[in-house]
Structure 1
Amino acid sequence: MPHHSNSTMTDEFYNMRKQHKHNKYSLVTKTRRGMRPMRTTTKRRIRYSSSVSSSSTVSKAIPHTQNTKKATSFSDFTHLFPHEISFQIMAHLDLESLCEIAKVSKAWYFLSKSNEIWRQQCSIWNLSFRPSYQLDYYHIYKQHYLLKQRWDYGRVATHYLIGHIDSVYCLQFDSSKIVTGSRDRTIKFWNLETYQCTQTLVGHEGSVLCLEYNDRIMVSGSSDTTIIVWNMKTCQPIMRLRGHTAGVLDVCFNEQVIISCSKDRTIRIWDINNGQLLNTIMAHRGPVNAIQLFENKLVSASGDAFIKMWDITTGECLRQFEGHTRGLACVRYDGHRIVSGSNDKTIKVWNPETGECIMSCEGHTDLVRTLNFDENRIVSASYDQSIRVWDIKTGACLLNFQSGHTSWVFDVHFDSTRIVSASQDQRVLVMDFTFGLDTQYF
């Protein structure tokens, strides 16, 4: 990303702050490419004087005197104190104040651009790299600030991955690639920088309904009732697991076991090293549509409208969660909360220890087919063709992308920089919040 001048950066901060403060509007349907129109505000010019009378804050800090000329000469506290003290004072200011004082005078402008001040400002972001005094913290803060603004207002650049010749059921992605599974019986690898397909894997004899991978292996499940374990280095099959009597709807694994669930109403636990079947759990009265593993606890969601928690070492059912009025399609669990989506068109958040439903999110107009969440937000997708972003603390719908897909959405994943979704329309949609930003700091 090319560096802008400091004055340009200051103006952008200032204008975006004003927009955030005054432009309160309800969400509207996005355009066909999934982008929300950029909104503009009238720029309000604020003039400043270096005299005592121009700033009530500074005036209160400097004693009044009868000698006007003498008072004027001592009006700027940055001339009275060492730079280190001035830095400490300014380090306690918020973003709005820092943007405004940069317009007071040249001396205040250069002080407001101190790297130490912006290093402290960056402490509000969860930085994923090791702090260093040699980094440009003003630049880093701006990247994170603009990314947050884009999440707040739904500003994205959209890209479609075209290559599957039938519905795309499942996906996973990381910083360099996207992996997708389809009804066309293939698994495809896509370069996240070029959005081109780099490899196609063939092995299943039916639709690829689910997949999960790490650095070493990938596990995929299919409507052909089997599970294939793939080597992620060579992209070759390691082994095929047989035992389910209907389609495999979801898979997950850890260092010891692979766990699968099926339309046959069972959960099966397999040894990850040799593929031996360790346990079969008669789990639900309907298809087991989704599972999520955390440590030794597994959460399952079924078409029978129940969520259950299991101890995978014993196969014991630890808890049952009741509240949805129709069958469940998806569930996620991170050890602290459970989030589920159902054919009753709602998303529910649960306390995993008590079984209590903490919150319901309402807004989708059809089956909630898929969802994921982090500590701040839930991202869900539905047969109503929309992708929605929710505040995980309040349940408020923050964003509603309604034009990204032209048919049912089957899977959605996200991180701090993008949302990726797969649909019956045979396409994978990438919504990028970082277009034009310096992504090395995310």
Structure 2
Amino acid sequence: MLLSQLPEDVLYQILAFLDCKSLCRLSQVCRNIRRVVNRDVVWRKIAKDFLNTGITWNGTDIYHHVPLKERVKLAQNWSKGVCKRSIPLKWKTKLLPWLQLDVDVLYLSQAAQIGAYHLHHESKRLQRSPFEIYSGHEGDVCRFVLTDSHLISGGSDGRILVHSRRSDVSWGLAGHSQEVNCLDSKNGLIVSGSRDRTVGIWTLTSSSPRATIAMFDRVWSVAISPTLSSFVTGTACCENFSPLRIWDVERSACVCTLGSEFRRGAGVLDIQFESPFQLLTCGYDTFIRLWDLRLSPQRCVLQWEEPHDSTLYCIQTDSNHMIASGSSYYGVVRLWDKRRTQCLQFFQLSSDTVSSPVYCLRLSCSHLYAALATSLHSLDFRQNPTGIR
């Protein structure tokens, strides 16, 4: 019996023993074999070990619209740092921009406005002009988040604006006396943090906060747990307590603190939930830390130090093995493999004479977008992948 005549379930069992290179060679035998080898079910096990293939820690597929074999091709370029750099947008005034990515639409805040830009489906090139603009703040937009139906922004005017993504309706939430440094929203719940040393808990249907928590320190970052039962705050660490604390949503009470050895001023600037029980943080102390919330006491289990002792402004994760970080000097973006202690790749996006922090990062399976003070940078990893045909 020929290999191509075997039942498909038997053939899949055989293919499960092959590595990436062997599968590529086998796919060149004939059309029938190539058709079977190219299926996602064959590549799923292999894809779990590569960077940014969209297969998360629990097996969820983020980029299900892209064939897995193609994503494994791209993953080799992520690991080797093979990419094409470009600057789709520039502006003259120095800003603190923020980004969100929704499939083929990139949202970028510039001063008091947020623009929505189409990404071309094939080339992923950014259109020069936004097809929609969200406005309403009297000062600069500090942070904004996307939900399925709303864009929610916090500004230096202390206001939170909720914009409908399906109509022209928008409304404001007033509750902070100074700029809203951070916010997060999930399933109708909104949590905001401000320079006025308070955290606000909101719902989409209320104009005033459901609860206000006094923090006694400036709040730089917040993140709502995927379970929606708690949220995490990161403060400036200028007082005598840990900058990382977990809060119960219903009771508005502190559940626990994370870490006890933060030096004074080691504020936490970004927080990302990797899973309901894993948390990534970064900030002024130059470390990326992974916290395991299942342990008792909850503690840091892994950490990675920025080699040039720079503040880390932002992080992004593929929810599996890769972390991307943005530094405070020269627009340095680093890629980390959590299975290693050293940085995997780094990219300097600003010149030696004009230094800018990386304020925000966003990932797709093929691109990395970085917002600097005067420009938006794009790294395209679809460049001549080797080893897979």
Same fold (TM over 0.5): yes
Task: Using structure 2 for the length normalisation, give the TM-score.
Answer: 0.79
Residue 377, structure 1, aligned to residue 322, structure 2: yes
Selected match of 1:122 from 43, 56, 65 = 43
Bigger shift: residues 218-227 or 383-392:
383-392
Q: Using a 3 Å threshold, how does the CA distance of structure 1 residues 393 and 282 change in structure 2: closer, same or farther?
A: farther
Q: Partners of 2:105 and 2:26 in 1: how far apart?
A: 44
Residue 340, structure 1, aligned to residue 281, structure 2: yes
Give the gaps of 5 or more residues in structure 2: 48-54, 56-60
Residue 96, structure 1, aligned to residue 21, structure 2: yes
Other-structure match for 1:401: 347
Q: Percent identity?
A: 20
Q: Partners of 2:25 and 2:204 in 1: how far apart?
A: 59
Other-structure match for 1:358: 301
Q: Using a 3 Å threshold, how does the CA distance of structure 1 residues 349 and 130 change in structure 2: closer, same or farther?
A: closer
Q: Encode CA deviations 1:156-189: one digit per residue, 9 max, x unaligned.
A: 233323254431421101111111113x222111
**Contact 1:225–1:244 (CA<8 Å) still a contact in 2?**
yes
**Contact 2:154–2:182 (CA<8 Å) still a contact in 1?**
yes
Other-structure match for 2:52: none
1:171-182 aligned within 5 A: 171-182=99-110
**Contact 1:159–1:430 (CA<8 Å) still a contact in 2?**
yes
* Amino acid aligned to 2:196: D
Give the match's secondary structure for 1:338.
strand
1:21-170 aligned within 5 A: 83-84=5-6, 88=11, 91=15, 92-98=17-23, 109-110=29-30, 113-119=33-39, 121-124=42-45, 125=47, 126=55, 140=67, 142-162=69-89, 164-166=91-93, 167-170=95-98
Task: Give the deviation of 1:357 after TM superposition.
Answer: 1.0
Task: Using structure 1 for the length normalisation, give the TM-score.
Answer: 0.70
**Contact 2:359–2:370 (CA<8 Å) still a contact in 1?**
yes
Q: Partners of 2:345 and 2:182 in 1: how far apart?
A: 28
Other-structure match for 1:387: 333
Q: Partners of 1:213 and 1:102 in 2: how far apart?
A: 41
**Contact 1:168–1:427 (CA<8 Å) still a contact in 2?**
no
Q: Encode CA deviations 1:354-400: one digit per residue, 9 max, x unaligned.
A: 32111110124311111122222111101022111112344432111
Other-structure match for 1:220: 153
Q: Partners of 1:82 and 1:187 in 2: how far apart?
A: 54
Residue 433, structure 1, aligned to residue 358, structure 2: no
**Contact 2:360–2:371 (CA<8 Å) still a contact in 1?**
yes
Q: Partners of 1:94 and 1:258 in 2: how far apart?
A: 45
Give the gaps of 5 or more residues in structure 1: 1-76, 104-108, 132-138, 438-442
Q: Encode CA deviations 1:104-123: one digit per residue, 9 max, x unaligned.
A: xxxxx338944234435323
Q: Using a 3 Å threshold, how does the CA distance of structure 1 residues 377 and 129 change in structure 2: closer, same or farther?
A: closer
Give the match's secondary structure for 2:73.
helix
Other-structure match for 1:315: 252
**Contact 1:217–1:229 (CA<8 Å) still a contact in 2?**
yes
Other-structure match for 1:329: 269
Bigger shift: residues 93-102 or 332-341:
93-102
Residue 187, structure 1, aligned to residue 114, structure 2: yes
Other-structure match for 2:50: none
* Amino acid aligned to 1:307: L
Q: Using a 3 Å threshold, how does the CA distance of structure 1 residues 274 and 360 change in structure 2: closer, same or farther?
A: same
Q: Using a 3 Å threshold, how does the CA distance of structure 1 residues 299 and 395 change in structure 2: closer, same or farther?
A: farther
Q: Encode CA deviations 1:88-146: one digit per residue, 9 max, x unaligned.
A: 4963433434556789xxxxx33894423443532324466889xxxxxxx95642331
Larger proportion of helix? 1
Q: Partners of 1:363 and 1:201 in 2: how far apart?
A: 35
Task: Give the deviation of 1:428 after TM superposition.
Answer: 1.5
Other-structure match for 1:243: 175
**Contact 1:90–1:117 (CA<8 Å) still a contact in 2?**
no
* Amino acid aligned to 1:287: R
**Contact 1:180–1:188 (CA<8 Å) still a contact in 2?**
yes
Selected match of 2:208 from 263, 268, 276 = 276
Bigger shift: residues 387-396 or 86-95:
86-95
Larger proportion of strand? 2
**Contact 2:334–2:347 (CA<8 Å) still a contact in 1?**
yes
Give the match's secondary structure for 1:147.
helix
Higher RCO by CA contacts (8 Å cutoff, separation 6 or greater): 2
Q: Partners of 2:194 and 2:213 in 1: how far apart?
A: 11
* Amino acid aligned to 2:372: S
Q: Partners of 2:207 and 2:315 in 1: how far apart?
A: 29
Task: Give the deviation of 1:403 after TM superposition.
Answer: 2.8
Other-structure match for 1:15: none
Give the match's secondary structure for 2:99.
strand
